Amino acid sequence: MIEFRGVTKQFPDGTVAVAGVDIVMPPHKTTVLVGSSGSGKTTLLRMINRMVDPTSGQVLIDGADVATVDPVRLRRGIGYVMQNSGLLPHRKVVDNIATVPLLRGTSKAEARAHALELLDTVGLDRSLADRYPSQLSGGQQQRVGVARGLAVDPNILLMDEPFGAVDPIVRAELQQELLRLQGELGKTVVFVTHDIDEAFLLGDQVVIMQQGGKISQAASPTEILANPADDFVADFVGANRGKRALHLAQVDGRSVVVDADGRPAGILAQ
Amino acid sequence: MNWLWSNLDQVGELILVHLALSVPAIILSFVFSVPIGWVAHRSRWAHSVLLSLVALLYAVPSLALFIALPAVTGLTLRSPVNLVIALTLYGMAVMVRTAADAFDAVERDVLQSATAMGYSTTGRFWVVELPLAGPVLLSGLRVVAVSTVSLATVGAVIGVQSLGSLFTDGFQRGIEVEIIAGIVATIALALGLDWVLVHVGRLLMPWSRPEVKNVRGEPTPVVKRVDVA
């Protein structure tokens, strides 16, 4: 479990990225931080592995304040996946995946063997192991990034807009893949995105953040749609428009669900 | 041509002497420039100060530097060490700037991800930052190698033996072949060193070879779905 207690981050230039955040991210669930740029979602994520230290307040992992843990040690125990994969371009795929186990002192042979298994886990062919990242497609690089994040079997997996730079088709594929993996592995995932659809698809808990680093609402996707906390949230999730503003139309005695433009979205199951 | 055949030994010896002057200067300028370039890359203030200094260094006429150095080092004018120091300084004038550029060119994303993986600051420098700066560092080193070999010939004017001695001697005695032999040997030596550097670079940085970078986009297999055991 990850817990933020009254966390504020003000950068030296005066910008307040995160303002007085209290939030609990439950274990074995996916928490998605969503908001437009400048809402402090990435800063919030980076405070978990001490890439950023809060100006005030506490971040706790299973009750222990992360400020008391050596950052390098802490990071070696937390999976991290970022946009554009962040793979080391001078290391082969297999060595990229084995990076953290090697840093933690696992033998090279063992780390490489495990890396090959992880290629299977993320649905990549083992023949890619000896390639360099630049020889992979964007989607494949992201899969390798996920494999690397999972390499030490961490309890916590931080994902910073991991699918932000791939095309929509690959993105949908990767999202499904993450849902499958999460179903099997049950990590405590913290996922950052600016895409509310992605947030609703992946999140058990969705945290909607607004400018100035404040949380507008943290709840399940269903709860947010049913009871948006304020106008900002309602507007952000588009509860009153487009494909979310569904209503029923009766056709030959059956209820058809149509969207705001009158286009059919499906049949109401009885 | 007769001169060349009867003096092949001397040309061969001068090539070795020339190497003994240039190679230490090339290595030293690289070794000194990388940390200075790294400091320039880290701080905006250091960047402007250090790069102005090395630019100034390059503006000093070589003969003047050769003659002024003994006053600082206390060595005699004709000591090869003086020449090596001067060549090192000129090499640094090029290399410091390139080194700063090389570290600037390393992607921030990659460094951030290395930090997130749990590299310590020093670990990250040796394992990630320095290797990734490698291709740009190598391009700078190649320029330094070639320019050092060519600049070392100037030492002949102040009496330090090198391939440049073939120019001065050829001029004084009016032997055209000797001058040409000096020029050809200097160029050959520069090209030879460059060749060595390129190949060492390919060995040390296989990931930066053009053929590795160009295969992107070739269809690669993605296994549809494999369950975790």
A269 and A201 belong to one structural domain: no
- Residue A20's alpha-carbon distances to A17, A41, A250, in angstroms, are 10, 13, 48
Could you tell me what percent of chain B has a pLDDT over 90?
Answer: 56
Contact A137 B220 (CB under 8 A): yes
Residue B226 maps to a domain? no
Residue A142, classified by CB atoms within 10 Å of its CB into exposed (0-12), middle (13-18) or buried (19+), is buried
Residue A121: its chain B contacts at CB < 8 A?
226, 228
pLDDT of residue A85: 78
Residue A83 maps to a domain? no
**What is the span of the domain harbouring residue A104?**
90-153
Residue B68 belongs to domain with CATH number: 1.10.3720.10
A69 and A165 belong to one structural domain: yes
Pair A160, A82: CB distance under 8 Å:
yes
Of A134-148, B22-36, B48-62, B133-147, the least confident:
B48-62
A118 and A228 belong to one structural domain: no
Residue whose tokens read 């975790």:
B228
A68 and A18 belong to one structural domain: yes
CA distance A3 to A26: 8
Of A57-61, B125-129, B160-164, the least confident:
B160-164
Q: Could you give the ipTM of this predicted complex?
A: 0.86
Residue A37 belongs to domain with CATH number: 3.40.50.300
A41 and A94 belong to one structural domain: no
Q: Does B59 touch chain A (CB under 8 A)?
A: no
Mean of pLDDT values over B192-207: 94
Residue A263 tokens, joined: 């286009």
Residue A90: its chain B contacts at CB < 8 A?
131-132, 134, 205, 207-208
Residue B147 maps to a domain? yes
Pair A182, A30: CB distance under 8 Å:
yes
Q: Does A49 touch chain B (CB under 8 A)?
A: yes
A94 and A148 belong to one structural domain: yes
Mean of pLDDT values over A17-31: 94
pLDDT of residue A258: 85
A73 and A22 belong to one structural domain: yes
Residue A101: its chain B contacts at CB < 8 A?
none
Residue A85 maps to a domain? no
A64 and A168 belong to one structural domain: yes
H-type helices in A154-263, by residue range? 168-185, 196-202, 221-226, 231-237
Position A85, amino acid: S
Residue B174, classified by CB atoms within 10 Å of its CB into exposed (0-12), middle (13-18) or buried (19+), is exposed
Contact B226 A123 (CB under 8 A): yes
Size of interface A-B (CB pairs under 8 A): 103
Task: Enumerate residues 82 to 141 of chain B having a beta carbon within 8 A of any beta carbon in chain A.
Answer: 107, 109-110, 112-120, 123, 128, 131-132, 134
Evaluate if residue B218 carries a pLDDT over 80: no
Residue A175 maps to a domain? yes
User: CA of A34, closest CA in chain B: separation in Å?
Assistant: 21
Strands A56-61 and A64-65: antiparallel
A106 and A148 belong to one structural domain: yes
Q: How confident is the model at residue B213 (pLDDT cuts 50, 70, 90)?
A: low
pLDDT of residue B78: 82
Mean of pLDDT values over A11-29: 93
A160 and A147 belong to one structural domain: no
pLDDT of residue A120: 92
A187 and A116 belong to one structural domain: no
Provide the number of structural domains found in chain B.
Answer: 1
Contact B116 A80 (CB under 8 A): yes
Residue B225 maps to a domain? no
Residue B212: closest C-alpha in chain A: A135
pLDDT of residue A242: 66
Q: How confident is the model at residue B219 (pLDDT cuts 50, 70, 90)?
A: very low
A49 and A169 belong to one structural domain: yes
> Higher model confidence: residue A36 or residue B220?
A36
Helices (H) and strands (E) in chain A, counts: 10, 13
Residue A125 maps to a domain? yes
Q: How confident is the model at residue A50 (pLDDT cuts 50, 70, 90)?
A: very high
